[in-house]
Chains A and B, each alone.
Chain A
Amino acid sequence: MPTLWIALFALVLSVVGYALGRRRAMVSADGDIRNLHSRPNYYGVNAALTGLVPAFLVLALWTLGQPLFLQNSVSGMISDAQIEETGSLGLVMSDVRRVADGLDQAVAEGAMDAETAGNVRIDLTDVRARLGEVGVALGSAVSQETLRAAQAYRAQSSFGDLLKTIVVLGIALAGISYAVMRTNATFRARNVVESGVRWLLIAAASIAILTTVGIFLSLIFNTVEFFRLYPAGDFFFGTTWQPSFTGRGGSSQLGVLPLLWGTFYISLIALAVAVPIGLFSAIYLSEYASPRVRSVAKPLLEVLAGIPTIVYGLFALLTVGPLLLRVFGDDTVGWMQGGTAVMTAGLVMGIMLIPFVSSLSDDIINAVPQAMRDGSLGLGATHSETVRQVILPAALPGIVGAILLAASRAIGETMIVVLGAGAAARLSLNPFDAMTTVTAKIVSQLTGDSDFSSPEALVAFALGMTLFVITLGLNVLALYIVRKYREQYE
């Protein structure tokens, strides 16, 4: 039975469990809910959850674990000679899986009957051609050994699926009946459900955290691999970025400094645009605007945050770049050679960041107690004096936090840079020069046909890691600042 059907079936069982639990509780209370410890719904939910949660947990683990288990047990059947011939065990095993899935598919589509599929022999049938008919393409003719392994794979996996169905539904049934058995008028179903809800929330939170850890680990292995091939000193302190794709190894210069400088410079310009505009609009919206204006203007401003960055990139490439070129190009002052430049990307990125700064700052300024405003106005301060001397200082930690969050957004931004800043990695002070950033180079190192064992490709992971550490540091700093000064007015 496919996983989806098992899940649906378990769900149906739990609905039945809900009804049973609820009814049993009502019966044990002689139909009067005042005799129950909890309201009847809680007994129902308790029965449903006791069955459903462990069943789903086992289902998820089993579905993830079964392929790994089968892989191990079947790979023993592959001889060393076969592995040598194909290249690696991984490739053989992927062939095995394809053949196995192909046979299953052929049976499902009626191209073979189940018995034929079970007894396919390489010397009697052209397996590759037959599978090709049902749309499963194989790279080479199937060897006897692969076919045998595939048959074993099929047998074990269908046995595993059957076992999975039985175990999962069994657990669901057992859980539901246990919960229904326990149900009586004095059973504290409400407390049980309450702690169940707590665990559900904990699980959700830990998934988010574990994913972060997982991303970090996936980066770190490749980064370590990169530093084995390329000296760390040259990476961190090299001032030239010149990856070579023709002569592999040795001839590439992979210094990160030009990229970091580009990232830093573009982010700086972006923040120089976004912080004043964002902050001022936040002050206007929260302090001066009438509720009507605010209710229209704030969503409009936040629309900016909803525009995909690739659209901003196009805006940079087609509008801002040519415009800047006309003003600062060869025709006038000659500072700018092409439309793609640090300034182009920085300006457009700044526009993108305005809603981040303004929306967060607006919330923070609104959180400053009215008593502060009254106190200042009551002393004869004007509105802008109040904003400047009382509200902004009170909201400053939050505003700094908002700015740092915008900064980490700027550092991680890719599409605007790819389209607006050019691709040349260089260390220059002229903001009208084309430069590039860490993110843009990660894209260019990994696009196309890349060999994942060369330093030229692996450097992308080291770059990703560097970015991750920088933005993580900024976020931690932002949190620290916000937390340290948060309780100043209370």
Chain B
Amino acid sequence: MNDMRLIERAVDMDDIKISARDVQVYYGDNHAIKDVNVDIQDKTVTAFIGPSGCGKSTFLRCLNRMNDTIDICRVEGDIHLDGEDINDKRVDPVQLRAKVGMVFQKPNPFPKSIYDNAAYGPKIHGMAKNKAELDEIVERALRRGAIWDEVKDRLDAPGTGLSGGQQQRLCIARAVATEPEVLLMDEPCSALDPIATAQVEELIDELRQNYSVVIVTHSMQQAARVSQKTAFFHLGNLVEYDETGKIFTNPEDERTESYITGRIG
């Protein structure tokens, strides 16, 4: 790992996009997330790392209330997006998810054509006045997903027929098509080979221009490569949250050091 490069990396923006205070999550009787406080900055890539089962995906899913779909899951605490409490009764989770997009661990294109996959969100939210505008949105999304050149000649082909890496980039394109403000990525590269991973990582770096990206990853190299800030979770606690360079070179907590050096996992 190139330590020098990591240290030099600075966070250009200081705007807080999401702030979470005292977040607790319970699955039935199981206390999965304990007292998590975190501020996620705008136009920044934030990485969540930690051993399996430490709650990083669960916490990620709190940020767009995807945990609402799990019956036994209960979330407590305050999470503010642009100063607005997202767990407030007046907030429509459907509207929230349009603003906070999500890409999942396994590529999950819908059993529709590539075009319809990318057009799914824009159609639902009525973002296009007519077909020409929709075409434009789809093309822009696919270009941002770095997959346009590969699929532009077969937009009518089923999205499920693409390779794994292409599928994941299609899913990213699908997520950015709705113009979200935050993009949550739950281990987006775990099912991909190194080449596809490199493409997705490059993409994440580009997405930083417009969005705040939160990525959960098991690969510490990946966290180091793509993120500006890193949060280390362990057993449901947020152990340490700081600039990525600092976490990987000079962590304050013993547990963080043990994890990044491979002693616990």
Q: Which residues of A contact B (CB under 8 A)?
A: 290-291, 369, 371-382, 385, 389-390, 393-394, 488-490
Contact = CB atoms under 8 A, between A and B. Distances in A.
B217 interface: no
A378 B160 contact: no
Interface stretch (B4-12, B64-72, B251-259): B64-72
B160 A489 contact: yes
Contact of B69 (A372, A373, A385, A390): A373
Interface of B: 64, 66, 69, 71, 94-99, 101-104, 106, 108-112, 120-121, 124-125, 158, 160, 171, 174-175, 178
A394 B110 contact: yes
Contacts, number: 77
Among A371, A380, A389, chain B packs the most CB atoms within 10 A around the CB of: A380
A378 B104 contact: yes
Given A369-B108, A372-B108, A379 B124 contact: yes
Contacts of A488: 111, 158, 160
Contacts of A385: 124
B178 A371 contact: no
B106 A379 contact: no
B168 to A, nearest CB: 12
Contacts of B109: 375
A374 B108 contact: yes
Given A378-B64, A379-B98, A488-B158, A394 B175 contact: no
17 contacts: A371-B106, A374-B104, A375-B104, A375-B174, A377-B66, A378-B101, A378-B103, A379-B97, A379-B120, A379-B174, A379-B178, A380-B96, A380-B97, A380-B98, A380-B99, A393-B111, A490-B160
B121 A380 contact: yes
A291 B72 CA distance: 11
Contacts of B95: 380
A299 B103 CA distance: 37
B177 to A, nearest CB: 8
Contacts of B108: 369, 371-372, 374-375
Contact of A380 (B71, B124, B160): B124
In terms of DSSP, what is the predominant structure of the interface of chain A? Answer: helix
Contact of B124 (A374, A381, A394): A381
Given A372-B110, A377-B66, A380-B101, 17 more contacts: A369-B108, A374-B108, A375-B110, A375-B171, A376-B110, A377-B69, A377-B97, A378-B66, A378-B175, A379-B98, A380-B99, A380-B178, A385-B124, A390-B110, A390-B111, A488-B158, A489-B160
Contacts of A375: 104, 108-110, 171, 174
B94 A381 contact: yes
A374 B121 contact: no
A382 B103 CA distance: 17
B94 A382 contact: yes
A389 B71 contact: no
Nearest to B102: A378
B110 A374 contact: no
A489 B95 CA distance: 27
A248 B101 CA distance: 78
A390 B124 CA distance: 12
A390 B64 CA distance: 20
Among A369, A377, A379, A389, chain B packs the most CB atoms within 10 A around the CB of: A379
A10 to B, nearest CB: 55
A389 B120 contact: yes
A39 B38 CA distance: 60
Contacts of B66: 374, 377-378
